[in-house]
A and B are shown apart, each in its own frame.
Chain A
Amino acid sequence: MKSHFTRRGVGAIALVSAGVLLAGCTTGGEPAGDVTITVAIDAGLEQEARDNFDARVDLFEDANPGIKVEAQEYTWTATTFTADLAGGTLPHVFTIPFTDGRGLIAGGQIADISAEVAALPYADQFNPNVAQAGQAADGGQWAVPIAAYGQGLHYNRALFEAAGLDPDSPPTTWAQVREYADKIAEATGEAGYATMTAGNTGGWILTTLVDAFGGRTENADASAPTIDSPAVKEVLEFLKALRWEDDSMGSNFLYEWGTINQDFASGRIGMYVSGGGNYGNLVTQNALDPDDYGLAALPLQGSDPGLLGGGTLAAVSPNASDAEKAAAVKWIDFYYLAKLTDEATATQTAELAASLDQPVGAPELPIFNQEQFDSYRSWIEPSVNVPVDQMAPYTEAIFDQPLIPEPRVATQDVYALLDTVVQAVLTDQNADIAKLLADAQAQAQALYDRAGQ
């Protein structure tokens, strides 16, 4: 018994000392102060773009001796994020969409970098609507907004012409959208209007339309969903009319972000709602003819309509040490924000993109304020290669449209619920909208209750 105790005691002391030693090793002195961070880059970059990235990495490392940067191809996937986190395959710096920002912060699944971000020179100049997507409950900026956009109505100029419509006069009310969709469908046989419905995008676009119709899917203090509400019903009735009365929505309804872009680019869709910055994907990846592209602002109607905004945040892995977090924020500042805030970087980035035939100048929303945004646009002006005239109906109107953030609670899960609702309306002529909404409301309420715990 006595030897047993002694053995155990010695063992415990040994363990504790080992732990202390190890702890000292990691936080104490980094040998020669070298911190290595892994940063996310897009998959499938062309060689020139990759070379340019490497060149910028060199610049950064020169300016910050003691920090080494390694690139890792990484595409954010909400569904496998936790597994990536547990499995250690997350880079230190990665990007996430606005939609997931607050959820990740609430779950402590990204690092708290608010202190380091607050030290940045422009920390207090973020557009509040945009910044809130990456803020914790106490206002700390845990994720940095690096891009923002507003929803828009993309339309195909060629189909407009074929239907006898003026491609420079896109619809300005939802009644006109219906009318134009009908004309296009009748004249060309293609879908006059199409909408996403799958992979949580159905809920996303439904929320967009609800906001544009003057309603909301969440109440003011984000304590309960307002799915069973008149505006939502109105939007669903609108879709039902287009689908079953006018038959102007074509024959395919299980669209996601990528597949609707594909069909739009191949000329099978007249109009659809999506993020305002889709031009790049449409032209480079889906071979859309730039002359056929048109972008209009969403018609707004109702008592309190607004434009759903979205964007991208840069976040840091919660597994990062303090030194790594500091280095990560420096990288975010250098790589993501400098090309907006620093004239030389902005010009150079735009020139490189233009030389690679990447679209430059696709519509965006200001991350900071209007003034800074205008300066930024003037810097990249010489390299802009997108058809800005064809996007004028959008760019001229959106700054006057009130920007609405995405719903704050259980966003993706509520979107998934709404997917089913939209799919039901579009694939079942006798869908009972009232019942669908009541069910969705109940299920969403359960999600809100669970999140509130």
Chain B
Amino acid sequence: MTQIAPPTAPPTREAAAPLVRPARRRSGGVRAWATGDGPHILVFLIPLFVAFGVFSWWPIGRAVVMAFQRTNLVTAPTWVGWQNFENVLRDPLLGVAVGNTLTFAVLALLIGYPIPLVVAVLMSEVRRLRGLFSALAYLPVVIPPVVAALLWKFFYDASPTGVFNTLLGMLGIPKQPWLQDQLTAMPSLVLFATWSAAGGTVIIYLAALISVPPELYDAAEVDGAGIWRKVWHVTLPQLRGVLLVTFILQIIGTAQVFLEPFLFTGGGPANSTTTILLLIYKYAFQNSLGGDYGAATALSLMLAVVLALFSLLYFRLTRGWSTS
């Protein structure tokens, strides 16, 4: 499936007049519709109906249904009520997966949230060569994630001649186990994920920074603000909207981390990098001789509900904070 579509606040609709001339509209129902623009509108909507109907709305509905069934693809599915949800909640791996996902999210926030901001602020002051800076920052984002992951997997070789261990050795730091130790595996994944995605965030921040009205800085200087105070009182508040949105997007994105644990460690060592999404994948596609599709959809639904609640709460809380 294509990249996750991040949730956005609904675009504000301008109060533009509809295209249909009111004078031409008859008060009759179907006939008026059929002789007006009605059928043509439907023609234009056919791609939407096909794409969303078959590949989005229908599967969502089906997911809800499957969460209450046992399916094995060969015989007809049977209804099992809340059984799937119970099985999932009782699975000891669920607690592990939730914990790991939270760890990943928190670590990713700690590392991946402030760093792009700092870099972007610094970059916004670059007079010449800003293009070069942008290109260098964005370069890791351009590399396909799978290629980057395979490359970093090799970097993370834990033997003394692994790439990163050799680099550390040159700095006098002892070799690290990276992916081979339950305590360092997850941070290693976070490090990679940050490297791979930070560039995009930098560019977004940069675009927002450039559009800060210069008068605000002028005004702050009149009030005697030094550099730090300008940043604190002008820059950051102006960025608030973008910061808020990237925060929630990062949470939602990291809650669904899959590629890193799948490619780097397969969930190990000893399930220390098994995330919720990896667990869903295991339920559905790694069960030899038949997946537990009911459990997979049940867990997906639970995750979706939690994320939706979180998003709603978040938007409600931050409604007054954004400047836009």
Q: What residues of chain A have their CB less than 8 Å away from a CB belonging to chain B?
A: 78-83, 85-86, 100, 103-104, 107, 109, 189, 197-200, 250-254, 268, 412-413, 419-420, 423-424, 426-428, 443
Does any Cβ of A come within 8 Å of B159's Cβ?
A: yes
Residue of A199, A268, A427 touching B270 (CB-CB under 8 A) = A427
**Which residues of chain B come closer than 8 Å to A424, judged between CB atoms?**
182, 269-270
Report the separation of the CA atoms of residues A189 and B290 in the bound assembly, to the nearest whole angstrom.
43
User: Are B175 and A254 within 8 A (Cβ)?
Assistant: no
A413–B287 touching, CB < 8 Å: yes
Q: Are A79 and B157 in contact (CB under 8 A)?
A: no
Given A109-B74, A251-B180, A427-B181, also A104-B289 (CB < 8 A): yes
Docked pose: A107 CA to B73 CA in angstroms: 12
Q: Which of A81, A268, A427 contacts B180 (CB 8 A)?
A: A427
In the bound complex, CA of A251 to CA of B239 (Å): 45
Give Cα A230 to B175, complex, Å: 36
Interface string of B291-311 (1 = CB under 8 A from A): 100000000000000000000
Check if A254 sits within 8 Å of B179, measured CB to CB: yes
Interface readout for B178-190 with A: 1 if CB under 8 Å, 0 if not? 0111100000000
- Expressed in whole angstroms, the Cα–Cα distance for A143 and B264 within the complex equals 36
Interface residues of B (CB under 8 A from A): 72-74, 92, 157-160, 162, 175, 177, 179-182, 265-266, 268-271, 285-291
Q: Which of A82, A189, A198, A199 contacts B289 (CB 8 A)?
A: A82
Q: Is the CB of B268 within 8 A of A103?
A: no
Instruction: Give A427 to B269 CA distance when docked, in angstroms.
Output: 7
**Are A107's CB and B290's CB within 8 A?**
yes
Minimal Cβ-Cβ distance residue in B for A426: B269
Chain A neighbourhood of B160, CB < 8 A: 189, 251
Q: Which residue of B lies closest to A412 (CB)?
A: B288
Residues of B within 8 A of A109 (CB): 74, 289-290
What is the chain A residue whose CB lies nearest that of B165?
A251
| A-side contacts of B182, CB under 8 Å | 424, 427-428
Are A412's CB and B289's CB within 8 A?
Answer: yes
Q: A79-B288, A428-B182 are in contact. Are A252 and B157 (CB under 8 A)?
A: yes
Q: Which residue of A lies closest to B271 (CB)?
A: A420
State how many angstroms separate the Cβ of A124 from the closest Cβ of chain B: 29
Contacts of A443 in B (CB 8 A): 92
New contact pairs (9) apart from A79-B285, A104-B289, A254-B180, CB-CB < 8 Å: A79-B291, A109-B74, A198-B268, A251-B160, A252-B158, A253-B180, A420-B271, A424-B270, A428-B182
Q: Which of A80, A103, A419, A427 neighbours the largest number of chain B CB atoms within 10 Å of its CB?
A: A427
Is A82 within 8 A of B271, CB to CB?
A: no
Residues of A within 8 A of B72 (CB): 82
CB distance from A325 to the nearest CB of B (A): 18
Q: Find chain A residues with CB under 8 A from B74 CB.
A: 82, 85-86, 109
A79 contact set on B, CB distance < 8 A = 285-288, 291
Question: Given A82-B72, A86-B74 in contact, is the A254-B265 Cβ separation under 8 Å?
Answer: yes
Cβ–Cβ < 8 Å partners of B177 in chain A: 251, 427
* From B162, B266, B285, B289, residue with most partner A Cβ within 10 Å: B289
CA distance A104 to B287 in the complex (A): 13
Nearest-neighbour CB distance to chain B for A141, whole angstroms, equals: 20
Pair A251/B286 contact, Cβ less than 8 Å: no
Q: Which residue of A lies closest to B274 (CB)?
A: A420
* Residue contact B268 to A419, C-beta cutoff 8 Å: yes
Contacts of B288 in A (CB 8 A): 78-79, 81, 100, 103, 200, 412-413
Q: Lowest 10 A-B CB distances belong to which pairs?
A: A251-B158, A86-B73, A412-B288, A78-B288, A424-B270, A427-B269, A423-B269, A423-B270, A251-B159, A82-B290
Instruction: Provide the bound-state CA to CA distance between A78 and B285, in Å.
Output: 9
